[in-house]
Structure formats: C-alpha cells, structure tokens
Amino acid sequence: MALAIEQPTTAPRSAKKRLQLRQLGQRWLPWLVPIVLIGVWQLAATIGWLSARVLPAPSTILQTTWELLLHQNLLGDIAVSTRRALLGLAIGGSLGFIFGLLNGTFPTSERLFDSTFQMIRNIPHLALLPLVILWFGIGETSRLFLVAFGVFFPLYLNTYHGVRSIDPNLREMGIVYGLSKWGLFRHIIFPGALPSILVGLRFALGVMWLTLIVAESLASNAGIGHLTMNAREFMQTDVLVMGIVIYALLGKLADTIARLIERRSLRWRVGA
C-alpha cells in the first residue's frame, strides 16, 4: 500500500508484468518435465548410453515417421485403424445408446434386458479374444466385434442412467404443454440425458482404442497394429515406438474432440 503511494505509476505496471510472467509460467510449467525427459533421452541415445535396439533417439523416430509418410503408406495405415475404431464405435455405441434409451424409458424393456446386460458387463471383453477368433477367425469381423462389444457398455450404462435421472416433473410439464412423444424425447429426454451420454462417450473412446490395439496387434493385414507387428519381427524399434506414439496421439485427439462436443453442447450449464 505504502509502495503504491510512493510510486503511483511504476508499481502497478511492474506488478502487472510480474502477473503476466507468472501466468505464462503457469501455462508452460506442465510441459517442462516432458521436454526435459525427451532432451535427456535424445542425449542418452546420441552419446550411446541407449542402444538403438532398446530405444532409438527421438530424432530417429521422427525421421522414420517422415520416411514412412513419404515412401510407405503410413497415412493409409492410420486411416485403416481409425476406420476400424469408428466403425466399431458406431455399431456398439449406437446399440448401447438405443438400449439405454429403451431401458430408461420402458419398464418392460428394462425388466427384459437390464439384468442380462449387467451380468455380461462383468466379463472383461478382452478375455473374449480367443473365443471371438474361434467364432469369426482372425479378420475384420473379430476386431469390429471386440471394439463394438467393448464400447457398448459405457454408452449403455450412461445413457440408461441419464434417462433415468431426468426429473419426472419436467416430463410432466412437457405433457401438460402438449408435447408429442417425439417432442418429449427431442426437447426433454435427450438433452436431459446428454451430459451423462457424453461421459459415456468419453469412456467408450478410451475402451475403443485399447481394444483396437490389442485386436490389431494379434493379426492384421493393414493398420497401425500391422505396422508394429512387422516392426517387431524385423526388430525395428523405431517403428514400434512410432506406432505407440501414434496410438497415443489418436487417443488424445478423440478425447479432445469429445471434450469440444461436450463444451459446445453443454454451454447452458455455465448460465452465461
């Protein structure tokens, strides 16, 4: 306080500058440790502490990625994996969504299906892998089945929960105000359940990539998993690490998109 009186012009300005610096620091601080780690890794690989067989340098991995992009069909492989993931999500997710709506809305449907779903839910779906291969062989069907199976439950459970937790008073209001069944769904039930559905979607995205990684690395003729499988056979550690990083980036991308959707469609929650 006394300082401000003595130096009325400079004190606030330097304080402001300090604040800006601190904000900048806050923003970039989380990146410090990863950058240092990558630096140490690069250094260790360059001076030969790390054998390229165990872990190639980050620069080598970048270079490999660049070459694969140019001369081999890396983008094509990414597209194949992404397509598999999204197709599985579309099948399993929409089934989960539909059953969630049905069981949340109709008691008969709930009686009929819910306890069965709750039982099957306890099976770790990756444990089904050998059985699925026995049924469908090593092929696209097996992979899609596993992904669809995995994403079904998060979407089912959260949609069901979302529909069930809608205030029955709001539903009654909709009826008094003359909404049709479709109107009730469109204006009250779906938007009311949406926050919960989106939570389910984000869970499902995590399950989706994880399942795909396992299913692809078992056997594939294309896709990231195919790439890393070959790389393992030929001991191309750089390609292996690249595959892992690509899986991580794809997962991150999916999560970011889901969060954007969440933020856009749940704007009403901030009340602004």
Partner 1 sequence: MSIRGVELGLRGLGKAIANRTILHDINLEIKPGEFIAIIGKSGCGKTTLLRLIAGLTEPTIGQVALDNSPLAGLNPAARVMFQDARLLPWKRVWENVALGLPNLNPEHALQALHQVGLADRAYDWPLGLSGGERQRLALARAIANTPSLLLLDEPFGALDALTRIEMQQLVEQLWRAQGFTAILVTHDVEEAIALADRVLLIQNQHIALNLPIHLPRSRQRGSAEFAAIKEQLLGAIFGAGYPLTSRVVGA
Residues that bind partner 1 (CB under 8 A): 167, 169-170, 172-179, 187-188, 191-192, 194, 266-272
Cβ distance to partner 1 smaller for residue 22 or 267: 267
CB of residue 81 to partner 1, shortest distance in Å? 35
Q: Which is nearer to partner 1, 127 or 270 (CB)?
A: 270
For partner 1, give the closer residue by CB, 170 or 219. 170
CB of 95 to partner 1, least distance (A): 25
Token pair for 184: 């009730």
Q: Find the shortest distance in angstroms from Cβ 110 to partner 1.
A: 24
Residue 272 CB, shortest distance to partner 1, in Å, is 7
By CB neighbour count within 10 A (0-12 exposed, 13-18 middle, 19+ buried), where does 227 fall? buried
Task: Please enumerate in sequence order all residues whose Cβ is within 8 A of that of 88, keeping only pairs 6 or more positions apart, or say none.
Answer: 143, 144, 146, 147, 148, 150, 151, 208, 211, 212
Q: Are 158 and 199 in contact (CB under 8 A)?
A: yes
Nearer to partner 1, 88 or 162 (CB): 162
Residue 218 CA to residue 250 CA, distance in Å, equals 19
Q: How far is the CB of 192 from partner 1 (least distance, A)?
A: 7
Tokens representing 238 are 């750089």
Q: Which is nearer to partner 1, 58 or 192 (CB)?
A: 192
Half-sphere exposure of 238 (CA within 13 A, CB side): 16
Cα(187)–Cα(175) distance, rounded to whole angstroms? 11
